[in-house]
Amino acid sequence: MATPPAIPTPPISRGGAVLTGAGGGLGREIARALHRRGWALHLTDVDAAAAQALAAELDERAIASALDVTDEAACRDVAGRTIEAFGDLVLWVNNAGIVSFGPAWEHDEARRRAILDVNAHGTMNGTLAALEPMRAAGRGHVLNVVSLAGLVAAPGEGVYSASKHAAIAFSLAVLYDLRQAGFDGIDVSCVCPDGIWTPMLHDTLDDPGAAASYSGVLLDPADVARRVAEIAERPRPVTAIPRWRGAQMRVFDVMPRLMERLLPGALKQAQWNQRRLKRRLAKTGRLP
């Protein structure tokens, strides 16, 4: 039987792109999705070895660097090296993030600061580093992976939710600033997915404080990554995944008394979802 022809790798046609938090979980899937669609990728992560391993899995259209997104100068350096490697910087995806669950008073100052530094300041650093060359070129796209927790305050995720609210507010304000300044060729998008079954959630199956993350349908990271790659080409200010959850969260956001009344029942359902998932994974031998 004849071997089917290999699917050709698309050429570098979309330009240079930076992806933060590329070393694992959702970031790894976003990298693969963007690569399939022809982007030249600068993969970054605090874990340099993980980013380099992913770059080696792809091809010469991918390079890798260590990056701590809380370091503003390091973000600017990554932008410059992306342009040196690929000739331009057309897309910057801020995906790096950390999460912590439980009542806000159980988070000490160091943990609160770490969450805000990575999720909020890291998004700001990456966005501003990207905008410098993009404003000079008059084109580009900053795509920030936020969360549904950026649309509504989530119980057990107060600090995380605050960091994501800051990220989405900053992103939209920057978009408006760009339009006011006449930069019509530069876009800023926010992607707000529901809970994603990645290592971020793997370790929370026994954590009652994480129950709110199980209140919706846990998403496949590859499916979210495909949507991110689509939005990279067709910018949208805010996209909730799935869309119905975004509409639901916005209702709760503007009607906090309704959220307060419904919360006990919603959390009971979420805790049941959490236990059910653990039982199913244990039965199939797929517990992390």
Task: Say which of 101, 160, 170, 214 is annotated catalytic.
Answer: 160
Active site (annotated) includes residue 160 = yes
Query: DSSP for the chain?
Result: -PPPPPPPPPPS-S-EEEESSTTSHHHHHHHHHHHHTT-EEEEEESSHHHHHHHHHHS-TTEEEEE--TT-HHHHHHHHHHHHHHHS---EEEE-------S-GGGS-HHHHHHHHIIIIIHHHHHHHHHHHHHHHHT-EEEEEE--GGGTS--TT-HHHHHHHHHHHHHHHHHHHHHHHTT-TTEEEEEEEE--B-SHHHHTTTT-GGGGGGGSSPPBPHHHHHHHHHHHHHS--SEEEESHHHHHHHHHHHH-HHHHHHHHHHHHHHHHHHHHHHHHHHHHHT---
Catalytic residues: 160
